[in-house]
Structure 1
Amino acid sequence: MILIGMYDSPFVRRVGIALRLYGIAYDHRAWSAFDDVMKIMAYNPLVRVPTLVLDDGEALIDSAAILDALDEMAGPEHAMMPHNGPPRRAALKTCALASGIADKAVSLAYERHVHERMDPTWIERCAGQITRVMNQLEIARAAQTTPFWHGDTIGHGDVMVSCAVTFMRDALARDMDLSPWQALKRHTDMCEDLPAFREAYMTFKMG
Structure 2
Amino acid sequence: MILIGQYDSPFVRRVAVALQHHGLAYEHRPWSVWADAESIAQYNPLRRVPVLVMDDGEALVESAAILDALDGLVGPERALLPPSGEARRAGLRVCALATGFADKAVSLLYEHVLRAGDRRSPVWVDRCVTQISETLDLLERERAARGGDFWLGAFSHADIAVACALRFLGEAHPSLFDTSHTSHTSHTSHTSHAARRPALAAHAARCEALPVFAAVVQPLHVAV
Task: Report TM bin, short chain.
Answer: over 0.9
Deviations 1:151-173 (A, max 9, x none): 1x210000000011110111101
Q: Pairwise CA RMSD of aligned residues?
A: 1.3
Aligned equivalents of 2:212, 2:174: Cα separation in 1: 24
Distance 1:82 1:204, change over 3 A: same
1:176 shift after superposition: 4.3
Give how far 1:181 is off: 1.1
Structure 1 equivalent of residue 123 of structure 2: 121
Which residue does 1:150 correspond to in 2? 152
- What per-residue deviation string (whole Å, max 9, x for no partner) do you get for residues 80-110 of structure 1? 0122111111111001111100100111111
**Post-superposition CA distance 1:47-76 (Å, at most 9, x none):** 110000001100000000000000000100
| SS of match in other structure, 2:60 | strand
Q: Distance in 2 between matches of 1:102 and 1:61?
A: 17
Q: State the partner residue of 1:91.
A: 91
The 1:107/1:146 distance shift into structure 2, 3 A limit, reads: same
Q: Deviations over 1:116-169 (max 9, x none)?
A: 443221111111111111111001110113210001x21000000001111011
Q: Which consecutive segments of 4 or more residues in structure 1 shift more than 3 A?
A: 114-118
Q: CA deviation at 1:199?
A: 1.1
Equivalent pair of 1:4/1:29 in contact (CA under 8 Å): yes
Given the superposition, is the C-alpha separation of residues 63 and 114 from structure 1 closer, same or farther in structure 2, using an over 3 Å criterion?
A: same
Confirm or deny: 8 A CA contact 2:139 2:200 kept in the other structure: yes
Query: Does the alignment pair 1:67 with 2:71?
Result: no
Pair 1:205 & 2:221 matched: yes
Structure 2 CA distance for aligned equivalents of residues 189 and 114 of structure 1 = 31
Q: Between the two proteins, what is the percent identity of the paired residues?
A: 50
Change over 3 Å in CA distance of 1:149–1:189 after alignment to 2: same
Instruction: Tell me the equivalent position of 2:197.
Output: 181
Distance of 1:61 and 1:7 partners within structure 2: 16
Find the aligned partners of 1:89 and 1:199 in 2 and give their Cα distance: 29
1:114, 1:206 within 8 Å by CA — same for their partners in 2?
A: no
Give the letter aligned to residue 162 of structure 2: V
Which amino acid is the alignment partner of residue 10 of structure 1?
Answer: P
Q: Which residue of 2 aligns with 1:137?
A: 139
CA drift at 1:114: 3.2
- Give me the whole-angstrom Cα distance separating, in 1, the residues matched to 2:116 and 2:175: 15
The residue that corresponds to 1:17 in the other structure is 17
CA contact (8 A) 2:104 2:132 kept: yes
Task: Give CA deviations for 1:12-63 in whole Å, capped at 9, x if unaligned.
Answer: 0100111001110100000001001221111111111000000110000000
Give the TM-score normalised by structure 1: 0.95
| Letter of the structure 1 residue corresponding to residue 213 of structure 2 | F
Partner residue, 1:171: 172
Kindly indicate whether the alpha-carbon contact (under 8 Å) linking 1:82 and 1:91 is maintained by their aligned counterparts in 2: no
1:193 aligns with 2:209: yes
- 2:17–2:216 CA contact under 8 A, matched in 1: yes
Partner-residue secondary structure (3-state), 1:52: strand
Structure 1 CA distance, aligned partners of 2:201 and 2:149? Answer: 14
